[in-house]
Structure 1
Amino acid sequence: MAACSELEIVLNELKSHIESTAAINTNAVLEPVVKTYVEVVVLPTYASLKSKVDHLYDTVVALASAPSNTTFETACEAWLEARQPWETSEAFLFGPVANLGLDPNMDSWPLDQNAIVQLLNSGDWEQLNWSGDYDEDNDGIAAAQNVRGFHTLEFLLFKNGQARTVK
């Protein structure tokens, strides 16, 4: 709470400075800043995320086709690698990531561990889908979000912070 109060004070001080400095509130000044931010931070982060998630997918497919302690460890390492750019990207959740519900579909918490186990036992993968436009108030969407994404894969790959092992 104290940190939030301090942040509010700093932001209020900055707000008055920015509002009183009309010269920096122009498109000519701000457009290059936004362009640089997008080109140097946002796009490379999403490119890294795509590349690392592609690799994660490949390691999970390899694990499913040939379960072993080595393929578990490889998938766990790929999960850790893919998680890093996702965490970075959460600093700029706007546009399709926010509007189409990509964040809660990739990173919902808490998990519904019972539903994950039931889903795995049933093999009814249709439970992961919903129809219609994204709507945060749709219960079907929330139910699907709680059984997929990074945290679900973490639950399946890791146990007590270590890669699961084949028995």
Structure 2
Amino acid sequence: MTRIDLKKVSILLIAIVLMLACSKTDDPQNTTPDLNKDRAAILTNLADNIIVPSYTNFKAKLDLMSTKSQAFIAKPEAATLTEFRQAWVDAYISWETVEGFDFGPGTKTGIRNYFNIYPTNVAGIATYINNPSENFEVTAAYDKQGFPALDYLLNGTGSTDAEIIAYFKSSTDGAKRLAYVKRIVDHMNELITKVISNWGTYRSEFISKTGTDIGSPMGEMINGYILHYERFIRSGKFGIPSGAMLNGVVSANKVEAFYKKDISKALAQSAHQAAVDFFNGKNVKTSVEGPSFKSYLDGLVAKDVTTGKLLSEIINTQFVANKAKIDALKPNFYQEVIDNNVAMKAVYTELQKAVRMLKVDMTSAMSITITYTDNDGD
């Protein structure tokens, strides 16, 4: 028998162990993903590349609207009305890109309640105009301010621009009406300034607390995101006006931007695209996708139980179908409800498919608990 050289065997064994260790480290199949680190990257990308810059972009639009409102208040005439109205439209469309951030500072200020509760309360607006001391910071004031109230004041106080201008130049009430416009715009500026300022301090908490438990930034963000998609896009823009909800009662007068009806589609498109981009982590400035709900689902290898495809792929496919249904509608949703309500209901039905995927499949894969309630059986 050949004598075994124990020293050589030992060296050989050490080499084999080192090779296996290197192989295991280099092989991505053997790497366990650090999900907490992934969530930190997701939260950072969403905060720095979507949430804060979107708020900044919106603030610029609101600032312009404020400037145009001041010009109109100083001199109510056709030219200043036209410019104020266009700035209002641009700011409203931009608002749809940030309305879904109903978590953190957005929730604490209740900004959505002050900016976009519709239909607006026309009788209540008249009361508030005549009583400037009425409190703006109460629930009862929600439907008397924000974009919907400006919609009425700029587009619904007369059948022509001349009549609208006359409404504001009335010798008895014109000054009070102009003062109310100023009050609305000033309050909107105050609230968005507060939200942006609060994000400056909230950011560190948002990106550092990476858990998925109830009350965590991740949990609150996903709940806010899904609630917005379900209640304020699916239901508010389509389900309620079309009668697909509320026991089938058709309510064309409850469309968004009721007095400037030809922008209702543009508002819906802006809101839906913002939701899609947020899901995919699309950078507001560069349009490059980064860490997101999509990447997190992919990291978890979350799949659709029926098809076996990646859940993120199924959700994005549904988003494309939803967009196609919305794009096929005419600009005036009020008229669509009257003339083509089948199409409005079809959008609601298509959006509902995405709601189930987000609310059930996505949250299950992410171990997120839904903490809000809805009464339509979803």
Give TM-score scaled by structure 2 length: 0.33
Choose which of 83, 89, 113 in structure 1 pairs with 2:122. 113
Partner of 1:43: 52
| Matched-pair contact (CA < 8 Å) for 1:24–1:30 | no
* Amino acid across the alignment from 1:156: L
Choose which of 150, 153, 156 in structure 1 pairs with 2:153. 156
1:126 aligns with 2:133: yes
Partners of 1:36 and 1:89 in 2: CA distance: 16
Q: Pick 1 or 2: higher relative contact order, CA cutoff 8 A, min separation 6.
A: 1
SS at match of 1:126: coil
Q: Which runs of 5+ in 1 are unaligned?
A: 1-22, 131-140
Partners of 2:75 and 2:122 in 1: CA distance: 25
* Amino acid across the alignment from 2:107: A
Choose which of 143, 146, 150 in structure 1 pairs with 2:143. 146
Partner of 1:26: 35
Structure 1 segments of 4+ aligned residues over 6 angstroms from their partners: none
Partners of 1:42 and 1:163 in 2: CA distance: 39
| Matched-pair contact (CA < 8 Å) for 1:63–1:75 | yes
Partner of 1:9: none
When residues 114 and 38 of structure 1 are mapped into structure 2, their CA distance, relative to the original with a 3 A threshold, is same
Choose which of 107, 113, 117 in structure 2 pairs with 1:104. 113
Partners of 1:52 and 1:39 in 2: CA distance: 20
Partners of 1:72 and 1:39 in 2: CA distance: 36
Partners of 2:33 and 2:94 in 1: CA distance: 31
Partners of 1:158 and 1:29 in 2: CA distance: 48
When residues 104 and 30 of structure 1 are mapped into structure 2, their CA distance, relative to the original with a 3 A threshold, is same
Q: What does the per-residue CA deviation read over 1:38-81, in whole Å, with 9 as the maximum and x for residues that have no partner? A: 11111111001111111111111110110111111101110111
Give TM-score scaled by structure 1 length: 0.71
- Deviation of 1:163 after TM superposition, in Å, equals 7.8
When residues 33 and 118 of structure 1 are mapped into structure 2, their CA distance, relative to the original with a 3 A threshold, is same
When residues 102 and 71 of structure 1 are mapped into structure 2, their CA distance, relative to the original with a 3 A threshold, is same
When residues 163 and 31 of structure 1 are mapped into structure 2, their CA distance, relative to the original with a 3 A threshold, is farther
- Segment of structure 1 superposing worse, 63-72 or 141-150: 141-150
RMSD, aligned α-carbons: 2.3
- Deviation of 1:89 after TM superposition, in Å, equals 0.9
When residues 29 and 164 of structure 1 are mapped into structure 2, their CA distance, relative to the original with a 3 A threshold, is same
Partner of 1:16: none
Select the structure of larger CA radius of gyration: 2
Q: What does the per-residue CA deviation read over 1:62-117, in whole Å, with 9 as the maximum and x for residues that have no partner? A: 10110111111101110111112210112221112122211101111221101112
When residues 79 and 118 of structure 1 are mapped into structure 2, their CA distance, relative to the original with a 3 A threshold, is same
SS at match of 1:67: coil
Q: Which runs of 5+ in 2 are unaligned?
A: 1-31, 167-378
When the two structures are aligned, how many residues end up with a matched partner? 133
When residues 25 and 112 of structure 1 are mapped into structure 2, their CA distance, relative to the original with a 3 A threshold, is farther
| Matched-pair contact (CA < 8 Å) for 1:128–1:147 | no
Partners of 1:83 and 1:71 in 2: CA distance: 18
- Segment of structure 1 superposing worse, 61-70 or 92-101: 92-101
| Matched-pair contact (CA < 8 Å) for 1:111–1:152 | yes
Partners of 1:43 and 1:107 in 2: CA distance: 20
When residues 62 and 129 of structure 1 are mapped into structure 2, their CA distance, relative to the original with a 3 A threshold, is same
When residues 24 and 147 of structure 1 are mapped into structure 2, their CA distance, relative to the original with a 3 A threshold, is farther
